[in-house]
Structure 1
Amino acid sequence: MKKLIVMLFAATGLMSATIPPTAVQSPVPDSAPTESPTATPYDSQLNRLAEVLGTVTYLRNLCGADSEPQWRASMEKLIEEDAENEPLRKEALTASFNRGYRAFAAVHTTCTSAARMAESQYRAEGATLVDEMTARFGN
């Protein structure tokens, strides 16, 4: 987990990527099993990180950050590697990312100083979450 999260933040310059308006497609079909996911001690932080990443992705795209097409693949890899055979955890991570993306899409339709400030604050929160998770749960 640690290597993948750090790779995400380092390789993408803290989320300067392009995600299409549909954000990340849910990897879980409608007929997915309903068994309880295997909880990990960092699930709440990882879900928050996914939400933050969705927010930052939307805001950076809105404000004209350079496109980095490898971002979507990196996010999908994070979801795949952290919740490999757990469809409900995959769905939760995808939903968190999309919630962050869509929440700001509903509010910010143009790049403003408030949007730039929010993006900066969310990037800082994402970096803090990564630091906390790797320090506590490591590799």
Structure 2
Amino acid sequence: MMRLRDPRTGRLRAAAFALLLLAPLPATAAEGDPPYEESLVRLSEILGALHYLRPLCGAEEPTLWRDQMEALLAAEEPPPERRGRIVNAFNHGYSSFAALYRTCTAAAATAVERYMSEGERLTRDITTRYGR
């Protein structure tokens, strides 16, 4: 027997999948890491997501977010293991959205808005609390 699919079900599945993929990475701070490590890793993940989503949604800034990530790494000068965690977070943010979106949708545009706000908040909190 053939079953007809409800298009709403497909959207719900896609949304559930997005939530799983886009959940923040688990805390990755190791001994000796700065106290803002978790926030920095999350910020890196957001930069990766924006690097994919902003151009997808029409922003003419093909390297802005990757450039921001490179500036963050230059400012931090992390040792190789820590650098790897930060870069992996950026790549996770990028690939999570690349797996879901091929065109800019309302959900993608909403994600951009939310990530821009969260990224601004994290940047402000890190620089205010830790002077970086």
* TM-score over 0.5 (shorter chain): yes
1-side partners of 2:37 and 2:57: how far apart? 30
Contact 1:51 1:96 in 2 (8 A): yes
Alignment correspondent of 2:116: 123
CA shift digits 1:7-40 (9 cap, x unpaired): xxxxxxxxxxxxxxxxxxxxxxxxxxxxx77411
Structure having the higher Rg? 2
Contact 2:47 2:68 in 1 (8 A): no
Alignment correspondent of 1:113: 106
2-side partners of 1:91 and 1:37: how far apart? 15
2-side partners of 1:73 and 1:57: how far apart? 9
> Deviation of residue 74 (structure 1)?
3.7
Q: Normalising by the residue count of structure 2, what TM-score does the alignment of the two structures yield? A: 0.70
Rate the CA distance shift 1:90–1:68 in 2: closer, same or farther, 3 A. same
Alignment correspondent of 1:23: none
Contact 1:47 1:96 in 2 (8 A): yes
Aligned-pair identity (%): 41
Alignment correspondent of 2:48: 54
Contact 1:83 1:89 in 2 (8 A): no
Rate the CA distance shift 1:53–1:73 in 2: closer, same or farther, 3 A. closer
Q: Give unpaired runs (5+ residues) of structure 1.
A: 1-35
1-side partners of 2:56 and 2:63: how far apart? 15
2-side partners of 1:117 and 1:73: how far apart? 23
2-side partners of 1:63 and 1:71: how far apart? 14
Q: Normalising by the residue count of structure 1, what TM-score does the alignment of the two structures yield? A: 0.67
The aligned amino acid for 1:42 is Y
RMSD after superposition:
1.8
Work out which of the residue numbers 63, 70, 73 in structure 1 matches 2:57. Answer: 63
1-side partners of 2:46 and 2:74: how far apart? 18
CA shift digits 1:56-105 (9 cap, x unpaired): 11110111101254543442232133034x00111111100000000011
Instruction: Tell me how many residue pairs correspond in the alignment.
Output: 103
More helix by share: 2
2-side partners of 1:70 and 1:124: how far apart? 17
The aligned amino acid for 2:96 is A
Pairing of 1:1-139 with structure 2 (within 5 A): 38-69=32-63, 71-84=65-78, 86-139=79-132
